[in-house]
Structure 1
């Protein structure tokens, strides 16, 4: 990073997470007993905003909450984390977004999302924040809000020369072509397979991951990073391919690992840091998040990432 903190605008979801810790995820029709249930602020957009702020970015958020007690807690938490919430609107007579997150002992999770106020974010809301987006260094977007809002925000950013990073989660069953006209798209294996819509099978590591990344690159983004969980990630730009080796941590909860990755990428990828270097920084941030319970509470600070860095080098793909 250069001397000045990057200005990051996050357009995305704001949820309250109900996290259920269980020994294993139940099968269809099965009732199981969980160890505990806790509430904590979440939503992919808000998670990424908090992570970017903790990692040193100057962060503003565009989103919607409802007219309920959750809304107060969600906005207060973002403010406490240093996120500018000027363009977070409250919507009357609707609940804030809610995510029910079941986490099994090994750290894998299953998430059921009730969008609530997030589904009511509008293109007019995005236009109202146009100057904020134009004045930023990076726009960070995800897909827990209406796709037309993501496209509108990306269009404003693109025309202003602002870098766009798309975390395509949850992966849509259909989407406009312009959604992929971004500087970086960073899906995980499941999302990459869904975005390719049958052009590839399941996406594994190694050659399968590279093939998926190259197919996605043909669809419009300038760069593709496919995250591979415990196998690291693959960075593809034109003919260049680099594998980022994973960081060894004890996995506790993978819920927010992808959000930490995207936020760290937004904060670290600048004129003095290559995309590969930024992806390695992001990989470390994601690993730390996976080693902690919860979403926003798990987000690392820059000092945490710097302590973990240096243990694993980026390797040329083979």
Structure 2
């Protein structure tokens, strides 16, 4: 069983089902409204936990009912929330999600307490980081917090996983990349970091070389319904996605990350099987509504793997 710590965001998601996204100045009717636990970090932690990893979380909430809701949601999935701190002056993060009939989404995020996470908060979590096999970070919390966490991890032989999402508005701190063992962007995030547009396998190989120059030795690029490309010292390949009818792509990428770290070996020797497992998990997520409510459990993924093999 992998021991995974996730440093990241905790958001209460409010989802609105609509026919199509509004144009500027247009008012559209909402067919359905729902609330659920979310945030990229929390989603990834839930995915890791549901796929069998021993999971802990580092993050921050406000002193409000939304924060209690998020803590309760972590506990429900047996995620250690010891190092989720409480901010007395800033509210818990929120996300408003518009979901159209084609299953695509548009998301407005209020960072709130997520963006107030400090180095000191992370330093307090050193015991749980040191006891992990993997630590995962994204960009819904400050890069400085991720650097602190990754420094602790590297000093203790813990594998660092960076999901550079959402795509950074400014350049990634080079120090963070140099502390990253494997980076997992989607094709748009990858292009925003390297300047290389993902169009074919050659551009993916070129991207891997660019990330290596930046200090990141291993790469996975998720390319939607095309699958996932990986590059390590042992080689590279594009692993095709499993074809399903998507009804809601919310949390698909987060499910992939969490499922992947629940299965991957620290030396990445089983990267192909771990990616295929993560793709199965994501294929189940997109067939359901919501963020965390859509993330499958281990038994469901194993059934999906068995069915695809038969």
Whether 2:166 is the aligned partner of 1:175: answer no
Identify the residue that residue 64 of structure 1 maps to in structure 2.
60
Name the SS of the counterpart of 1:309 in structure 2: helix
1:278-293 aligned at under 5 Å gives the runs: 278-293=274-289
Which residue among 259, 264, 268 is the counterpart of 1:264?
259
Aligned-pair distance for 1:174? 1.3
**Preserved CA contact (<8 Å) 2:186 2:221:** yes
CA, structure 1 residues 190+75, in 2 after alignment: closer, same or farther (shift >3 Å)?
same
* Structure 2 segments unaligned to the other structure (5+ residues): none
Identify the residue that residue 249 of structure 2 maps to in structure 1.
254
Which residue among 29, 34, 39 is the counterpart of 1:33?
29
Distance 2:257 2:251 in 1: 10
Which residue among 119, 133, 137 is the counterpart of 1:137?
133
Whether 2:187 is the aligned partner of 1:189: answer yes
* Structure 1 segments unaligned to the other structure (5+ residues): 314-318
**Preserved CA contact (<8 Å) 1:96 1:118:** yes
Name the SS of the counterpart of 2:214 in structure 1: coil
Write the deviation string for residues 46-95 of structure 1: whole angstroms up to 9, x where unpaired: 11111111111111101100111111111011101100111111111321
Identify the residue that residue 299 of structure 1 maps to in structure 2.
295
Which residue among 240, 252, 255 is the counterpart of 2:235?
240
Aligned-pair distance for 1:239? 6.8
Identify the residue that residue 85 of structure 1 maps to in structure 2.
81
Which residue among 206, 212, 215 is the counterpart of 1:211?
206
CA, structure 1 residues 89+213, in 2 after alignment: closer, same or farther (shift >3 Å)?
same
How many residues end up aligned between the 2 structures?
306
Q: CA RMSD in A?
A: 1.7
Distance 2:98 2:137 in 1: 24
Return 211-220 or 12-21, whichever deviates more.
211-220
Identify the residue that residue 316 of structure 1 maps to in structure 2.
none
Distance 1:304 1:255 in 2: 19
Whether 2:19 is the aligned partner of 1:23: answer yes
Distance 2:282 2:215 in 1: 26
Aligned-pair distance for 1:312? 6.3
Aligned-pair distance for 1:216? 2.4
TM-score (norm 1): 0.92
Return 291-300 or 237-246, whichever deviates more.
237-246
Distance 1:244 1:144 in 2: 28
Structure 1 segments of 4 or more deviating over 6 A?
none
Write the deviation string for residues 177-223 of structure 1: whole angstroms up to 9, x where unpaired: 12223121110011111111xx323x235433343333223322121
Distance 1:12 1:99 in 2: 14
Aligned-pair distance for 1:285? 1.3
